[in-house]
Chains A and B, each alone.
Chain A
Amino acid sequence: MQRERLAFRRSRSRRSTAVALVSTLVFAAVAWFGVTSAPGWPRVRQSFFSLDAAVRALPAVLEGLWLNVRVLVVCEALILVLGVLIAALRTLRGPVWFPVRALATGYVDLFRGLPLIICLYLIGFGLPGLRLTGIPNDPVLLGGIALVLVYSAYVAEVFRAGIESVHPSQLAAARSLGLNHRRTMRIVVLPQAVRRVLPALLNDFVALQKDCGLISVLGAVDAVRAAQIASATSYNFTPYVLAGLLFVLLAVPSARLADWAARRLARRQGLA
C-alpha cells in the first residue's frame, strides 16, 4: 500500500513540475513576443542590446566596477563601525548623556531623511567649494563620505532595533555579575543584537552595493561613469545595460547570503 501511495505522490509532483514548466515557457513567450513585436523594437535592440558595443565597453566598465567594489568595501566597514557607535550612544541613559543622545538622534533624523543624491551634491561640490586647506577634492573620497554619512544613519537604526530586542533580564544578569555598562554592551548585548539583525544588515549592504554607482554624479570614473563615457562616444546605450547587468550579478551572492542568514536565524529562533 505504501508503495502505491509513494507512486501516487511521485506522479502528482511530476505533474506539478510539468505545469510550472509550461506556464513559465508560455509567460516567457508572451513577454518576448510582446516586446519584440513593438514597433520600435529593432531600433531599441540596436541601441540598448548591441553585442558589439557591449564587448567594446566591457574593459572600461569592468575597471569602473572594480572602483565601485573598493568603495563598497571601505564604506561598508566604516558604516558598520559608525552605525554601532551611534546606536550605542542612543541607548545611553541618564540626564548627563542628554546632549550626546540628542546629537545621535539628530544625526539619524537628518541623514535618514536627506536624499542620497542631495547629500552627494552637498558633500561633493559644497565641501571643496569652501576652499579650506586639508579638504580633499577627490570625487571618490567625497562620494564615499556622503555614502558613509547616509548609510550610517540607516545602519545605526538597524543596530538600535537589535539592541532593544535583547531582553532586559540579560542586562540585569550582566550587571549583577559586576559588568559595567560598556562591558555589558560589548560582551552581552551587542553579540546577541548583531546576530538578530544580520539579515537586515545584509539587505542594507545590497542597497549600498548599487548606490555606490551614484558617486559617478561627482565625476568619479566608476562603472556607471565608464558606461556613460562609452555610450557618449558610440551613441549607443548598451554600456548602461552592461553596467546594470554587472551590478545585478554583484548583488546576487549578497542576496543569497542574506536569505541564508535569515533562514538560519529563523531555525535558531525555532529552537530557543
Chain B
Amino acid sequence: MTTNADVSTAASVLSVRNLVKRYAGQPVLSGIDLDVAEHEVVVLIGASGSGKSTLLRCVNLLEELDDGQVFLDGVDISDPRVDADVARRAMGVVFQAFNLFPHLSVVDNVTLAPRVVHGVSRELAEARALELLDRVGLANRARSYPDRLSGGQQQRVAIVRALAYDPRLLLFDEITSALDPELVGEVLALVRELAGQGRTILMATHEMGFARQVADRVCFLDGGVLVESGPPEQVLGDPVHERTRQFLRRIIDAGRL
C-alpha cells in the first residue's frame, strides 16, 4: 500500500500539514496531511461537502487557515509574513464555473497575469497566449468575448489562462462539473495532455473513470478528513476503508464508474 508518507517533504512541490479550516465554528477540514511530488497528478475524490474545494482554496490561500501549514517548494506560504499575492504566482487555479472575466476578450483574459503580475511585454504575452490557444484549438477565438464561447471552450480558455505564466502547481476544482455532458470530454482530454507533459496537478473531480486513467494517486476525503490515499487501482478498486467502499458503491449505483 502506498501512502503519502513515503513522499518526502523536501522533494514535494506541495506539502500540506495538519490543515484545519472551520466555517462559523464548524470544522470543514480537520487536520489534512497531503503531499504532491513534482510531475505527480493527485486526484481528490469525495462527496459534495467533503472538503475538496475548501482544501484547494486553502492551498491557494483564498481562505484563511485556522491551523496547519502549506508548503510550496519547501516554503511555508501559510506564514502570515509571506505575501500571498507572490505565493499565488507559482499556482494556477481553474474553477468549476470557469470565472473568466466577461469584459475582457479571450486573449486579454489569458495575458492579464503575465503582463500585469509577471511583467511580460504585451507582444511576448500575446504570442505565448496565441500559441497556447492554438494548442487547445481556440486560436481563432482569441478576440472573442467569453459569453460567445461554449462552456467547454470557456473552460479550456480558463485552463490556458492558468497555464500562461507556467505555474509550478495546477489546482483544478471540479472543472467539468458545470459542463454539459457532451463537453466534458474536450476538457478532460486537455487535462490528460497536461498530465502527459509532466505538469504537477492537484485536482478535485467526480469523474472516477478519468481519475483511474490519469491519476498517480487518488485521495478520498470524507467529512473534512483524508480517509484513504493510494494508487487509483487500489483506492478505486480495492479500498481499505469502509467509508471509501460506501462512497464508491453509491457512485457505482449512480452509474458513474
Q: Which residues of A contact B (CB under 8 A)?
A: 169-170, 172-180, 183, 187-188, 191-192, 195, 271-272
Most chain A CB neighbours (cut-off 10 Å) among B93, B100, B112, B113: B112
A176-B88, A178-B88 known; A187 and B112 CB under 8 Å? yes
> CB-CB < 8 A to B62: which residues of A?
172, 175-176
For the complex, is B99 an interface residue (Cβ under 8 Å from A)? Answer: yes
Given A175-B88, A178-B89, 12 new contacts (CB under 8 A): A169-B99, A172-B57, A172-B95, A172-B99, A176-B93, A177-B162, A178-B85, A178-B86, A178-B88, A179-B116, A191-B103, A192-B102
Asked if B86 contacts A272 (CB within 8 A), the reply is no
Q: What's the A-B contact tally at a CB cutoff of 8 Å?
A: 61
> CB-CB < 8 A to B102: which residues of A?
192, 272
- For the complex formed, measure the closest distance between the CB of A260 and the CB atoms of chain B, giving whole angstroms: 19
> CB-CB < 8 A to B103: which residues of A?
191-192, 195
Within the complex, which residue of A169, A179, A192, A271 is in contact with B113, where a contact is CB–CB below 8 Å?
A179
> CB-CB < 8 A to B161: which residues of A?
177
Contact bitstring B66-107, A, C-beta under 8 A = 1, else 0: 000000000000000000011011011101010111110000
Range of interface residues on B (Cβ < 8 Å): 20 to 34
Within the complex, which residue of B57, B97, B117, B147 is in contact with A177, where a contact is CB–CB below 8 Å?
B117
Query: What are 12 A-B pairs with beta-carbon distances under 8 A?
Result: A172-B95, A173-B93, A176-B91, A177-B117, A177-B162, A178-B86, A178-B89, A178-B117, A179-B85, A179-B116, A179-B117, A192-B103
Most chain A CB neighbours (cut-off 10 Å) among B92, B99, B165: B99
A175-B88, A176-B88, A180-B85 known; A170 and B99 CB under 8 Å? yes
A173 to B117, CA, bound (A): 14
A180 to B87, CA, bound (A): 11
